[in-house]
Amino acid sequence: MAIHTATLADTVRNDRPEDLAWQADKNHFIHPYTDFTTFEREGSQVISEASGVTVTDTDGRTYIDAIAGLWCINLGHGRTEIADAMGKQASRLAYFNTFGHSTNVPASLLAAKLAERAPGPLNHVFYSTGGSTANDTAVRLIHYYFNRLGKHAKKKIISRNDGYHGSTYFASALTGIHGVHLGFDRISQDIVHHVSAANLYRRPQGMDEAQFCDFLVDELQQRIHQLGAENVAAFIAEPVMGAGGVLVAPAGYHRRVAQICRENEILYIADEVVTGFGRLGHWFASEDRFGHVPDVIVSAKGISSGYCPLGATLFSDAIHDVIAVPQAPGGLLSHGFTYSGHPVSCAAALATIDIIERDNVLGHVREVGPYLQARLKELMRHEVVGDVRGDHLMAGIELVRDRAGRVNFAPELGAAHKVFTAARKRGVIVRPVGNVIVLSPPLVLGKADIDRIVDTLHEALAEVSPALL
């Protein structure tokens, strides 16, 4: 049965195809990260068209997409150059596998372009289908790497509270956001260990930024000591935490952590699914923004500007040189996905890279990013805003009941969700995450778009504040 036609006949709002879609969605589509209470009541907003920095729903309402779809549609919507590149590739070769010794032109050329743009010796790419599978790949191949070195005990992975690394079973185990685990089982609890988030706003009272950095570094050192360095394979971190509430680490944190990892033969995995491909004004943030070269970089989302699913895990020469040695003559590296190196996704990524370079998108982000951050600081004039933070085109606005005491709103109040609703009513889509309003707009937005987003947030906060306080 395709759809519940009987239910449709009874409840459909109208008989336009878009209303049929709305009803079919309500009856059959289990959405990711859904609150079923509101879903049951309201159903979905059906987004049907998009152009530049805006999206339009089936009721004809147009919004500024201040979250780039979901941190991904970096070059904006409706880019015919990317669509054309995908269409051409689909007509020419839509798919053939890349297992063993077969390849395709876009996947090969993209691998070289990624290696050129990645820092230091990260010259080798394993393709997957998105951020979760790219993180799974990172860990699976790191375990294989240490096995090949005869270091079979090196299995544990240190991740961070509030880090988000995806939703496959293992990537969700890496994820440190408490709410993500509610009601679910956690596999790999003996493998994955979490340390504190680098949350400057919520740092222990009385510590300045430098002391907090020392505190985090000490904690990591102690945890490694506790677990035994010989048992720890890798540390994973987002350069700036995204879904955990846009948390920018204290100055020097990543460099110092990377140094500790090196001293203990622990590989550093930088999850750049959000921060890569220009969001912080560089191809990758690890080296250019935070001054260290990780052993592995995980990329997805912006790599294809969200036009097609694609994940890429970049490995250093040192890791590659170990995993590339066959276990026995003819032995396989037995890891891979049907869609590893999918030609259409890779064509979308090549077109993305061309546009970023041709239009100097990285330079543009370096210009408008600080403007967005500066304008958002104005929101501190609203009493419910406790903190405004971010880096270039990632921003978080944390709402609090009591600014002096940094006291959270109770989750059931849905404070950020109320701001989201008030902003959407005015034509701007932001993302509520707990008590934080998250922004991650397309990289190509202009200062006028930023003004509209910030002005709308002022109005939304003014509307909802009286009921919150």
Binding interface with ligand PLP (CB under 6 A): 71, 130-132, 135, 164-166, 238, 242-243, 271, 273-274, 300
By beta-carbon proximity to ligand PLP, the closer residue of 203 and 431 is 431
Beta carbon nearer to ligand PLP, 22 or 253: 253
Closest approach of ligand PLP to the CB of residue 282, in Å: 16
Q: Which is nearer to ligand PLP, 415 or 438 (CB)?
A: 438
CA-to-CA dists, residue 299 to 20, 294, 306, 454, angstroms: 36, 13, 12, 29
Task: Name the residue number minimizing CB distance to ligand PLP.
Answer: 131
Q: Which is nearer to ligand PLP, 75 or 274 (CB)?
A: 274
What is the end-to-end Cα distance of the chain in Å, rounded? 50
- Distance, CA of 272 to CA of 285 (rounded, Å): 7
The structure tokens listed for 296 are: 């592995």
Nearer to ligand PLP, 238 or 295 (CB): 238
8 A C-beta contact, residue 239 and residue 163: no
In three-state secondary structure terms, 175 is coil
CB of 286 to ligand PLP, least distance (A): 13
| Least distance CB 383 / ligand PLP (angstroms) | 30
Residue carrying structure tokens 């036609």:
5
Residues in the chain: 469
Q: Nearer to ligand PLP by C-beta: 345 or 465? A: 345
Phi-psi region of 225 (alpha: psi -120 to 50; beta: other; left: phi over 0): alpha
Strands (E) in 54-100, as ranges, are 54-57, 62-65
If the CB atoms of residues 58 and 199 are measured against ligand PLP, the closer one turns out to be: 199
What DSSP character marks residue 243? T
Shortest Å distance, C-beta 279 to ligand PLP: 11
CB of 370 to ligand PLP, least distance (A): 23
Residue where the block lists tokens 């890569």: 276
- 82 contacts: CB under 8 Å, gap ≥ 6: 75, 304, 305, 307, 348, 351, 352, 355
C-beta of residue 430 within 8 angstroms of C-beta of residue 438: yes
Nearest-approach distance from CB 132 to ligand PLP, in angstroms: 3
Give min distance, CB of 467 to ligand PLP, in A: 31
